[in-house]
Structure formats: structure tokens, C-alpha cells
Amino acid sequence: MSSHATPIPMTSAACGPLTGVADVPGDKSISHRSLILGAMAVGETRISGLLEGEDVLDTAAAMRAFGAEVTDLGHGNWSVHGVGVGGFAEPDWVIDCGNSGTSVRLIMGAMATCPITATFSGDASLNKRPMARVTDPIALFGAVSVGRSGGRLPMTIVGAANPVPVRYTVPMPSAQVKSAVLLAGLNAPGQTVVIEKEATRDHTERMLAGFGAEITTEVTEEGRVITLTGQPELQPQTITVPRDPSSAAFPVCAALIVPGSDVLIPNIGLNPTRAGLFITLRDMGADLTYENERLEGGEPVADLRARYSPDMKGIAVPPERAASMIDEYPILSVVAAFAQGDTEMRGVKELRVKESDRIDAMATGLRACGVTVEDGPDWWVVTGGKTVEGGARCASHLDHRIAMSFMVLGMATEQPVQLDDGSPIATSFPIFEPLMARLGAQITRDPG
Ligand code: S3P
């Protein structure tokens, strides 16, 4: 997102039943990786269904700055002529990653083993987020980084001229860190081994294998041990990006809480490392079904059907499920406000270092709307009921998922919910407002 986007205040008011078909955009995680691995292959990679949100466009611009030829062919079709593993050119200017943690962390990894220097920056949200989780492991390959205090952007990385392979245990559940290490390992000789104690989204591993890299995953007592053989020649691919379960979460959850709703959300990627929210909603008693289950491009896909579910109950979400629904806790907390009893969300410390402190951002707005929320360093509990008052002005804190969550909340509250700034929604779900309007939502932009 542009570092100086004009705030877009919005209001969401109670609406009639949400009905129809919600065609959500392509998967953000897979879109970033398609561009980055396309840029590291030799030859032309074709991508269809790319998410054209600001975060992914920032990755596309960055790949151009590193020397790849990236072309928008229209209608979500893109072409990437890659420069090969180790072939990145030195960018002429600062790489602006906007709001996107995935862009900066994956690209820092990808360039860390090339003999070039690059400087990264972002918006006010990204420049507050911790980067040591990437600069620590890339230092083991031989890269040097200099940033602001606390390991914050802006930051310059001097890539290793003679990288060595590493064996690294990722200290927190983070697919971005795992991916950064694997991408750095691509241009190191020998085998790079990454160990994760908890399984996080595995799109990088799947896509590296698809591009022809030698990569194996073994489940051991230590966790998932991922071994990558360095310096492969990546083969260009034709990639169809599945639709994003994290974006599908918003129309799904809206349908569950708005009386009379019945919404179909087709072609949603249901990779088990991403589908934790849908399991949780079903555990709560949601009327959510998978239709037409199938495999596409090696990923499980289904059409989701969500219907109004007045009898949902709060549950204790198993902490071991957290990584598979880490981006969905904000919208889950909205559903929890309409489910009877307590929804307990534990083992979710990582939520405090996302685009915003997501526990604090949601707890503050939900409380202002009359919902009881308790929270601690790595947990929060939302106490739900039949009705929610609403009527508050909530803050998005430059966080797309917080903004969309409050707009969904307002669809079912007694009083409308206002938002200070909906501009971050464009980072991941640029068609959110027209898509929700077509289903019947009442979201308006307010005078600034
Ligand atoms: C992502 C990983 C997750 C997630 C983010 C996308 C990815 O971040 O929150 O939205 O594409 O790898 P962490 O790796 O910090 O958990």
C-alpha cells in the first residue's frame, strides 16, 4: 500500500439476507510466490488468477527492480521472464514493500545469497514489524543487514557473495521465515535444512517442487524437517492461482451472522495448512458445507456454501490449529460475538506482530461495540450473545483484515459500525466492497 494512502472512512449497517455467489480473488500467499519463483526460473512463467492487490503488485514491482521482466497481460494473467537462481541484478532504488510483510520477508531471503545490495522500506505498519526473524537466519548464509533499532525497516541487506548452506530451526510458527530461509538456500551450494516445530502453510515447498527443485519434507520428533538441494535450475511453470481461503472467510462469516443468508463461494483453496477457520466454524455449529470437492494443480479445492447459523456456540479453539488459521482470528472474533458463550483463542502470540496487534485492535473495537473480550499476551476470549450493540467508530490500524472484520461486524449489529480507514482493504481484497454489495451488504464510504 502506498505509504501515504488517503484514509477512507466507511460505515457498515445491518442488512437483509446476504445471497448469491461470491467470487473472491486469487490467493495472496500463492500469488507472491508465483512471482518470486517465476523471477528465479530461467524462461517464461505464466500465471493466471493472480491476486492484483497492492501487496502482490509490490512484489511484482520488486521483481522488476531485481531484473525480471514482469508483464500484466490483463484479467489476472501475468508473464514473468526470470533471471535464474542467483541471477538477481542490484536494484537502482529502495524496494518499497508497502504494507506487505510477505513481500519483504520472502524477497530479503531470495536476495540474501546473491552478491548484491538492496534496501527495503514500507508503510508505517510494515516499518514497525520485526525483521530480525529473517535477518538472523540469512546472516548464517553470510548476508549482512543494517536496519533501524529493534531490527526494523528501512533496512539494507548485503547479500552473501559466497553463501554457505544452513540448518535452521524456525523459532516461531512462521511460513514467511521458513520461506525466506528456503529461498536463500536456493542459491547456496549443498543442502539447506529448515525445521519447523509446527506445520505452517506449505506453498513454498509445493511450488519449489513444481519448479523442479529437489525438496523433501520429513515429519520427525523435531518437527517438519525440510531439505532443499541448492543451486537448481528452476523450470518455468504455468500456474493457476486458487482463490484465497483467507478472503473467502469474510463472505463466509458474514453469511453465518446475517439472518436469512445463503452464499456460495466457489473454487476455494483448502490446503490443510490454511483451512483451520472452516473446521473451527463447523465445530461452533456453523452451517458451512463443502461442495464439489476436487484437486486442482495439486491443491484441494471446493465450493463453500455458508448459511445463516443462529445457534452457533463458543468453543476453545485448539492452539495447535492456530497456524492453519492465523490470519482468520480477527473475523473469527466477529463470529464469536454472535455465538453463545465463550470462544477461547490461545497460543496466538503471533497475532500481536501482524499488520497490527490484531488482538488489541479487535478487542478494542469489539468492546466499543458492547462485546465482552478478555485478553492476555498470547490469548483472548470473546463472550458472545444473540445480539451485538455496535454503534462505535473502530480503527483499522493500517490492517486490511481488521478493516474487513469490522465491516462484517456492522452487517449484523443493532447500530451501524464505523471504520476510520478502509484503504488497507485494497492490499488483499480490492473488490471487497462491490462483492459484498452484490450479496446485499450496506457498506458506504463516508465523507473524509
Ligand atoms: C504468510 C504467512 C503468515 C501470514 C501472512 C502470509 C505467507 O505470516 O500471516 O498473511 O504468505 O507466508 P507469518 O509467516 O508471519 O505467520
Instruction: List, for residues 209-230, the tens digit of each pLDDT value.
Output: 999 999 999 999 999 999 999 9
Mutate which of 29, 196, 358 for ligand 1 pocket (most atoms within 8 A of beta carbon):
29
Which numbered atom of ligand 1 lies nearest the CA of 201?
Answer: 12
Active site residue 327: yes
Mutate which of 104, 107, 125, 176 for ligand 1 pocket (most atoms within 8 A of beta carbon):
176
Residue nearest to atom 10 of ligand 1 (CA): 327
- The alpha carbon of 181 and the centre of ligand 1 are apart by a number of angstroms equal to 14
Average of per-residue pLDDT across 35-47: 98
Average of per-residue pLDDT across 273-290: 98
Q: Which is the catalytic residue, given 96, 123, 244, 327?
A: 327
Mutate which of 326, 359, 427 for ligand 1 pocket (most atoms within 8 A of beta carbon):
326
pLDDT for position 2: 46
Instruction: List, for residues 73-99, the tens digit of each pLDDT value.
Output: 999 999 999 999 999 999 999 999 999
Say yes or no: do domains 10-26+242-445 and 28-239 share a fold: yes
Does the domain at 28-239 match CATH 3.65.10.10? Answer given as: yes
- The alpha carbon of 131 and the centre of ligand 1 are apart by a number of angstroms equal to 13
- The alpha carbon of 13 and the centre of ligand 1 are apart by a number of angstroms equal to 31
- The alpha carbon of 175 and the centre of ligand 1 are apart by a number of angstroms equal to 6
Instruction: Give the burial string for 127-147 (b: 16+ CB within 10 Å, else e).
Output: bbbebebbbebbbbbbbebeb
How far apart CA 386 and CA 340 sit, in angstroms, is 7
Locate the domains of the chain by residue range: 10-26+242-445, 28-239
Which numbered atom of ligand 1 lies nearest the CA of 327?
Answer: 9
Average of per-residue pLDDT across 178-188: 99
Going by C-alpha positions, the residue among 361, 430, 369 that lies closest to residue 397 is 361
> Is the pLDDT confidence value at 60 over 80?
yes
Going by C-alpha positions, the residue among 33, 57, 20, 19 that lies closest to residue 269 is 33
Q: What is the DSSP string of 159-212?
A: --SS----EEEESS--HHHHHHHHHHHHTSSSEEEEEESS----HHHHHHHHTT
Average of per-residue pLDDT across 203-209: 96
- The alpha carbon of 326 and the centre of ligand 1 are apart by a number of angstroms equal to 8
Could you tell me the fold of the domain covering 10-26+242-445? Answer: UDP-n-acetylglucosamine1-carboxyvinyl-transferase; Chain (3.65.10)
> Is the pLDDT confidence value at 404 over 80?
yes
Which numbered atom of ligand 1 lies nearest the CA of 246?
Answer: 10
> Is the pLDDT confidence value at 3 over 70?
no
Helix (H, G, I), strand (E, B) or coil at 383: strand
Q: How does the average pLDDT of the chain come out, rounded?
A: 97
Instruction: List, for residues 149-168, the tens digit of each pLDDT value.
Output: 999 999 999 999 999 999 99
pLDDT for position 4: 56
